[in-house]
Structure 1
Amino acid sequence: MTPKDAADTIAAISTPLGEAGIGIVRVSGPEAEAIARALFRPRNLRGDFLSHHLYLGHIVDPASQEIIDEVLLTLMRSPRTYTREDVVEIQCHSGLGVLRRILELTLAQGARPARPGEFTLRAFISGRLDLTQAEAVLEVIQARTEAGLRVAAEHLQGRLGRSLQEIRETFLDLLARVEAALDFPEETAELPVAAFTADLALPLKALETLAATFQEGRLLREGLLVVIAGQPNVGKSSLLNCLLARDRAIVTEIPGTTRDLVEEMITLAGVPVRLSDTAGLRPAQDPVEELGIKRTRERLAQADLVLYLVDGSLDLTPEARGDLEELGGRPGLAVVYKVDLPQELEISALEESTALPITKISALTGEGIEALKQQIVGLTLKRGLNTTGEIITQARHHQHLQNCLGYLAQARALLVPGEPAPAWELVALELQEAIRELGEITGQEVGDDVLDRIFGEFCLGK
């Protein structure tokens, strides 16, 4: 954001568009109060507007004096606001026409349309939030489970940012010791390698522990990707509907009915799960089916867990054997389907074709469905889901932590007690890079292109 942009007053609709009880138009910047005074006609106002008070009145078009809507308006004066600028929030009826008209009136008074995430970007630039907190705003909005919300809320409170900043300060202190020894060798004692290595070890271990939480954090943020696969007409869509407890996918006896991915979210044992119903695996009959099968194979490569369905009422086909062999060592389950029918499938033949655990279910009677749900979570999270302590949920954070650990490992390799004096200049360079990587996470070192990418994921009005 340029200095000119920062001086602008911005406005946006902050609530989802659609019919609802309340919609909010948010205004932030130096002209926010003037815009409110131009548009708002309060009822029974005695004296001046008080900050952080709610006022009842009408939004009026200054040009025509037309009353647009009865609203509640809050004026929040800097610096005790989300952006640390003057902020006005107008609560009106949540009709699209009303919201757009009020927004247009704010723009006519000198505001400009806010970019996605610009209110939170201003909160970051003003120092109200560090970058981990700013990113946590989106995590809170997108949280699908109580566990995910709990972790996001802790990030929003600044717990992760404070921990990383403390570690960064430790590395800055270590770097200062090295640079002092290099710049003033006559005035400082020679750095003891063993003691310096010990001082480096504790924050290094903390970062390793934090980086190791990313797998759990990713699952909380994105959910387990569970792909339902198998030959055409084996019952994949029926299983999806059964797990969702509603009809989401079309089910017919015609092979090849599902030609594209059908994906839905459910929650199992507090874990968000993305279920992906896929096209049946067979030689494509036409270009549309070919594209669907291609997407199926792409999803299989990305899956955290594959549920491969086989029809228990039929013998195991050569095609199914080939699919199971192709799945190889991927995490998954061989799901014997239609166990409510007379069984032709020999379990021994299935066991010879795959090392996957085998489970039996019926979508018609519900037999085995609850056990299947438990297996989905149990096979993926063998130790359960830990949501206590700091947890990394962002791939960006994890990548910078990995980079930081790489630089620290190189610094540590230069420090060998009992060997000739290490090349402290190289140790300093590695520490500088490690500190920079941590600053990329918390925001001290981040570039404009990264900020644009992060805040571009936000919705308008946030």
Structure 2
Amino acid sequence: MNLPLKDPICAIATPPGKGAIGVVRLSGEGALEVAARVWRGKDPRGLRGGRFTLGEVVDPETGEVLDQALLLVFRAPRSYTGEDACEFHTHGSPAVLRRVLEALVKAGARLAGPGEFTFRAFMNGKLDLAQAEAVLALVEAEGDLARRQALRSLEGSFSRKIAALEDRLLSLLAHIQALLDYPEEGVEPLEAKRVIGEVLQEVEALLAQARSSRLAQRGARLALIGAPNAGKSSLLNALLGYERALVSPIPGTTRDYLEAPLELFGIPLVAVDTAGIRDTSDPLERAGVERALRIAEEADLVLYVADRSAPKPSPPPLPPRSLKVATKADLPPLWEDPGFIPVSSVTGEGLERLKEAIREVLLGKEQGEYLLSERQIEALHQARERLLEAQNLPEDLMGLALEEALKALASLRGRKEVSEEVVARVFQNFCVGK
């Protein structure tokens, strides 16, 4: 991001469209002077930080009143960017926000680039790189799990864990150097292996959260398959908590697939009710069966649904991530199978057990503490490889591998040895105004 780091920048910070309130941000050296040129009310340059004042936004060239608004002033370094900054809280129409932004540009600010406010926060030491990534993850979070994990990283928990691992490796490197320079004062080989093993264990524990991070961010597809009239549509409605799919005792009602969004254990899911799987001469129904099997192949989890009150069917080949569900558990059963989870869509019996089974298949026993980006996962893999390499070397040759592992860990926070390319990669997906 080859942008000046001092000049005043401005952007609309609220989403596109109409709303009760809109926010326009302004930050940088001279930001309060720019604000004073478009503000009719108390002079922003004389206001204390963290205080609102009521006034009017005006065109600096014509004096036309653009809107009544609230002005919130921040004094450096106690602002998001670490600079003098202010926010104009206006009415949320696109016309108002557009005119306020134009007025600020006329008054001497320039339009901010995507993520430039957060980039300045990073460059001014208000956030490290991991926290900056957490800002974007929090903005984009669609499920509660992603929100919780991103907030934890934004608060610095992930950065503190990485800093602790860096400190351990730095201390070990110092001892190894002492071993080379002063053999009688160095570290014992077994002690070095133990420290490396403990750091490696922590890195692998973080990497174990990669799957839950990906699911928390992109969500998952849940496919319901089974014979006609097995209760798939009723089960979908029961999971959703409202009637989304039409339910009929007539087999073959669902000819195509039907999607519905839901959230379970904080993860956004898309549940897909598919056509009943059976041999048929009807070309339309056969196409639905083929599509159902294709959807099952591509899903993150398959629920194979069978009617426990009817003769037991033979399931088709199922993918590894699948669960078997015996529906209509409120009716007298014609078969029992411990490999199936009994569920009644009428009474709700077994639904919680099914949801817990879905959670365990998708996430494992643990949901994960942090929301890891692909960049962070890649850096942790690099650190793991170098630590494994160091474990298999004699103590006098460990240094280089440990330095590479330390470099990979340091890149997570971006405090040192992080290239401009890496920084640009982090901020390239930010929206304007953040």
* TM value normalised by structure 2: 0.82
Distance 1:35 1:432, change over 3 A: same
Distance 1:452 1:232, change over 3 A: farther
The equivalent residue for 2:419 is: 447
Gaps of 5+ in 1: 416-421
Specify which of 69, 72, 83 is matched with residue 70 of structure 2.
72
1:150, distance to aligned residue in structure 2 (A): 4.2
The equivalent residue for 1:93 is: 91
Instruction: Write the deviation string for residues 268-326 of structure 1: whole angstroms up to 9, x where unpaired.
Output: xx4435132154376974999699558614532x33xx222235676556xxx3xx341
Distance 1:340 1:157, change over 3 A: closer
1:453, distance to aligned residue in structure 2 (A): 3.6
Gaps of 5+ in 2: none
CA distance in 1, matches of 2:294, 2:135: 32
Secondary structure of 1:16's counterpart equals: coil
Specify which of 143, 168, 178 is matched with residue 170 of structure 1.
168
* TM value normalised by structure 1: 0.77
CA distance in 2, matches of 1:75, 1:50: 7
Matched, 1:347 2:335: yes
CA distance in 1, matches of 2:230, 2:370: 40
Which amino acid is 2:261 matched to? E
- RMSD, aligned CA: 3.7
1:331, distance to aligned residue in structure 2 (A): 3.3
Distance 1:238 1:334, change over 3 A: closer
CA distance in 2, matches of 1:288, 1:64: 66
Which amino acid is 2:407 matched to? R
Secondary structure of 1:376's counterpart equals: helix
Which amino acid is 2:404 matched to? E
Matched, 1:228 2:219: no
1:58, distance to aligned residue in structure 2 (A): 0.5
Q: Which moved more, 1:152-161 or 1:224-233?
A: 224-233
Where does 1:49-448 land on structure 2 (aligned, <5 Å)? 49-143=47-141, 149-179=147-177, 181-182=179-180, 185=181, 189=185, 191-215=187-211, 221=217, 225-231=221-227, 236-248=232-244, 255=253, 257-259=255-257, 262-267=259-264, 270-280=265-275, 285=284, 293=292, 296-300=295-299, 302-303=300-301, 306-311=302-307, 315=311, 321=314, 324-327=315-318, 329-336=320-327, 346-347=334-335, 351=337, 356-362=339-345, 366-367=346-347, 369=348, 371-378=350-357, 380-381=359-360, 391=370, 393-415=372-394, 422=395, 424-425=396-397, 427-444=398-415, 445-448=417-420
Secondary structure of 2:162's counterpart equals: helix
Distance 1:330 1:25, change over 3 A: same
The answer as to whether partners of 2:36 and 2:43 remain within 8 angstroms in 1 is: no
The answer as to whether partners of 2:224 and 2:274 remain within 8 angstroms in 1 is: no
Distance 1:93 1:370, change over 3 A: farther
Which amino acid is 1:34 matched to? E
Tell me the matched-pair count.
426
Which amino acid is 1:430 matched to? A
Which amino acid is 2:419 matched to? G
CA distance in 2, matches of 1:287, 1:66: 67
Distance 1:316 1:133, change over 3 A: same
Secondary structure of 1:205's counterpart equals: helix
Secondary structure of 2:270's counterpart equals: strand
The answer as to whether partners of 1:210 and 1:392 remain within 8 angstroms in 2 is: no
Which amino acid is 1:361 matched to? S
CA distance in 1, matches of 2:321, 2:159: 36
Q: Which moved more, 1:271-280 or 1:145-154?
A: 145-154
CA distance in 1, matches of 2:53, 2:93: 21
Which amino acid is 1:452 matched to? A
Instruction: Write the deviation string for residues 317-361 of structure 1: whole angstroms up to 9, x where unpaired.
Output: 6xxx3xx34115433123435x678x8x9536xx5xxx8423233
Instruction: Write the deviation string for residues 87-143 of structure 1: whole angstroms up to 9, x where unpaired.
Output: 120001112221222122223334333333222222112211112222222343445
The answer as to whether partners of 1:216 and 1:385 remain within 8 angstroms in 2 is: no
CA distance in 2, matches of 1:169, 1:373: 44
Q: Which moved more, 1:155-164 or 1:202-211?
A: 202-211
Secondary structure of 1:333's counterpart equals: strand
Which amino acid is 1:35 matched to? V
Q: Which moved more, 1:159-168 or 1:171-180?
A: 171-180
Secondary structure of 1:164's counterpart equals: helix
The answer as to whether partners of 2:226 and 2:232 remain within 8 angstroms in 1 is: yes
The percent of aligned pairs where both chains have the same amino acid is 32
